[in-house]
Amino acid sequence: MSRESEFLIYCMERYRYYKNLSGKEVAELFKKSGVNKYIVECFGALHTVGEEYLMNDIDEYIAKSKGEG
């Protein structure tokens, strides 16, 4: 498994806990909003930030994908 894939799984698990969602809900949300692709493509920068920043960044990305940001 690539480092990017491992990081994506980490992000999904942390986001699941952060938002109190099921794994299925997070998987569907990440796929629908394009967060999966964003995390993999921006791995180089994202894996260096803290967890709180990362969760906020994912929230912002999801909001923008919905036209809320």
The answer to whether the CB of 31 falls within 8 A of the CB of 12 is no
User: Across the chain, what does the average pLDDT equal?
Assistant: 95
Query: pTM value?
Result: 0.91
- State the pLDDT at residue 66: 85
Q: Say if residue 69's pLDDT is above 70.
A: no
pLDDT for 9-62, tens place per residue?
Answer: 999 999 999 999 999 999 999 999 999 999 999 999 999 999 999 999 999 999
pLDDT at 67 over 90: no
What residue segments make up the domains of the chain, in order of their start? Answer: 3-64
**CA angle, 40 then 52 then 57, to 5°:** 45
